[in-house]
Amino acid sequence: MILAIFLLIIGFLLLVKGADIFVDSCSNIARALGISSLIIGLTIVSFGTSAPEAAVSVVASLSGKNDIALGNVVGSNICNLLLVLGASGIFGTLTVKRKIVFRDVVYSVFSNIVLIILTLGFFIEGEKTGVLTRTNGLILLCFLAIYLYALLVDAKRGNREQTEKTKMRARDFLFMIIGLLGVILGGQLVVDNATEIAEILGVSDNVIALTVVAIGTSLPELVTSVVASRKGETDIAIGNVIGSNIFNIFFILGLSSTVSPITFGIDSMVDILILFTVGLLIFFLLLGNYRIGRKKGWLFLTLYAAYTIFILVR
């Protein structure tokens, strides 16, 4: 038990530090190419901070630990929206561009709708378990391609801010590889030891995935967005969270279920519906003044605390 906890902590440290190195190196490469901070936040940074979720979910899927594979993504997305945005709003006001709300936030909510459509049918038909098939996985990956294409078209039209180019450095490519390796190894340690602890405590994999693993793999988003918020880089802060949520569903679940079909129970369906509700709530709150300040920040944190209590009691 003690060894499992120690290795779990080591896994989280590798995830966070590996993701940190990966994000920094990718961001340096992107800036050297003159890519805007908004595009960086929605793509490079969000993909980098989603790397822990990707490592955990893919490894869990290959290991047949489906509750962790799906629960990690859903739990991380709820954590991103409530904990990460809440903390970012408390430490510094997030001003959200109208384009982000009506393109990226809407597409994030749409990703939740797609996930509901792919999962709800099993329970409507009276089944006790559902499955994300390889075909479902390919569908999710196709929606990711559409989103990336939309960002590319937007960039080509010149609807992005001009950024000063920096010098391309070879070490950034080396650090990018090192960071990615750290994320993969950390993901393996987290899955194996979180499962072992769950078995010892008699707690389900789903609860562990929605709490410990979800928060742990969301630490890169939390650190990145809070720091960006404090520095006034609101495009990176909000783009990181929304982009990560889109990547989590379309890329991570898409890739995981393509590699190995993911089975899930009714509890996972409930969590998916909660994620959809939270996404809608944040969308409508942003329509007010396109800002997330302390009041909304504390509201989000309170809702996340209530959700955590709910899944523990459940």
pLDDT value, residue 186: 80
A 10 A CB-CB count for 157 gives 8
Q: Quote the tokens at residue 245.
A: 């949520």
Q: Quote the tokens at residue 313.
A: 């009691």
Q: How far is CA 301 from the centre of its chain?
A: 17
Which DSSP string do the residues of 183-215 spell out, in sequence order? HHHHHHHHHHHHHHHHHHHT--HHHHIIIIIHH
**3-state DSSP call for residue 115?**
helix
Q: Quote the tokens at residue 233.
A: 């880089």
**3-state DSSP call for residue 42?**
helix
User: CB–CB of 297/84 below 8 Å?
Assistant: no
**3-state DSSP call for residue 63?**
coil
pLDDT value, residue 159: 46
H-run or E-run covering 94: strand 94-95
Name the residue type at position 45.
V
Q: Are strands 291-292 and 262-264 parallel, antiparallel or unpaired?
A: unpaired
**Cα–Cα nearest to 255, from 27, 56, 45:** 56
Low-confidence spans in the chain with pLDDT less than 70: 19, 23, 30, 33-38, 40-41, 44-45, 49, 51-52, 65-67, 126, 155-166, 168, 187, 191, 205-206, 217
- Rounded Cα distance between 208 and 210, Å, is 6
pLDDT value, residue 299: 96
- Rounded Cα distance between 145 and 161, Å, is 23
Name the residue type at position 236.
I
Q: How far is CA 84 from the centre of its chain?
A: 10
- Rounded Cα distance between 141 and 92, Å, is 34
* Phi, psi dihedrals of residue 64, rounded to the nearest 5°: 80, 10
pLDDT value, residue 165: 57
Q: Quote the tokens at residue 127.
A: 């089944």
- Rounded Cα distance between 243 and 167, Å, is 26
pLDDT value, residue 67: 64
- Rounded Cα distance between 299 and 90, Å, is 10
pTM for the full predicted model: 0.78
pLDDT value, residue 281: 94
User: CB–CB of 12/216 below 8 Å?
Assistant: yes
- Rounded Cα distance between 295 and 265, Å, is 35
pLDDT value, residue 289: 84
- Please tell me the CATH code under which domain 2-313 is placed: 1.20.1420.30
- Rounded Cα distance between 80 and 244, Å, is 8
Residue showing tokens 């944040």: 282
- Rounded Cα distance between 309 and 303, Å, is 10
- Rounded Cα distance between 223 and 109, Å, is 23
